[in-house]
Amino acid sequence: MSNDTQAYDLAVVRDLLLAAFTADDLRRAILYTSRPALKPLIHQFSAGDGLAAMVEKTTTFCHRQDCIGDLLTEVKTANSRQFNRFESRLLAGGAAPADSSSGTGNSMQGSRSVTYVTNIERGLGIAIGDGAKVSPSKGESNDDSAGRNPGK
């Protein structure tokens, strides 16, 4: 593990991965990485995974293994143009999710708890979660979803 001490905005990391890679490119980047913390990630991918599923598995794995920094270094090496576009937004700041080590936010056995909201591929809804579990919102009509707030 790289022992990342910085809190990253996982929604921005996801958007970066979606912009920087195709499914085949992401699979190759992980398969041929020289970073030991990322090598086991290749076993998380299934043959039928599309880019959105691979990005979700990648960010979840890297968040749990505390190796987002290694992932970002890999992305910068593979596609520096896209990395540079997103770099200023990668670190969680201001109203960003709390680091559980500071004693605020939700704590799960001492690991950082990050809540994010991100778009699902092809605009089918939004995903709200903590990196471990995502609750996708199907493309429901406004009448069906009125009054519900899945984030609370």
Flag whether 140 is in a domain: yes
Angle between helices 23-31 and 68-78 (to 10 degrees): 110
Give me the number of domains the chain comprises.
Answer: 1
Kindly report the three-state secondary structure assignment for every residue of 22-68.
CHHHHHHHHHCCCCCCCHHHHHHCCCCCCHHHHHHHHHHHHHHCCCH
Number of Cβ within a 10 Å radius of residue 85: 14
**Could you read off the pLDDT tens digit of each residue along the chain, which spans 152 residues?**
445 557 899 999 999 999 999 999 999 999 999 999 999 999 999 999 999 999 999 999 999 999 999 999 999 999 999 999 999 999 886 333 333 333 333 333 333 444 444 444 444 455 555 444 444 545 444 444 444 444 44
| Cα 118 to Cα 98: distance, rounded to the nearest angstrom | 18
> What pTM was computed for the model?
0.60
| Cα 150 to Cα 132: distance, rounded to the nearest angstrom | 16
Report yes or no: 106 and 113 within 8 Å, Cβ to Cβ: yes
Flag whether 126 is in a domain: yes
pLDDT of 4 reads 54
Flag whether 49 is in a domain: yes
Flag whether 2 is in a domain: no
Range of the domain at 61: 10-145
Q: Is 95 helix (H, G, I), strand (E, B) or coil?
A: coil
Residues sharing a CB contact under 8 Å with residue 147, sequence separation 6 or more, in sequence order: none
| Cα 61 to Cα 81: distance, rounded to the nearest angstrom | 24
pLDDT of 105 reads 36
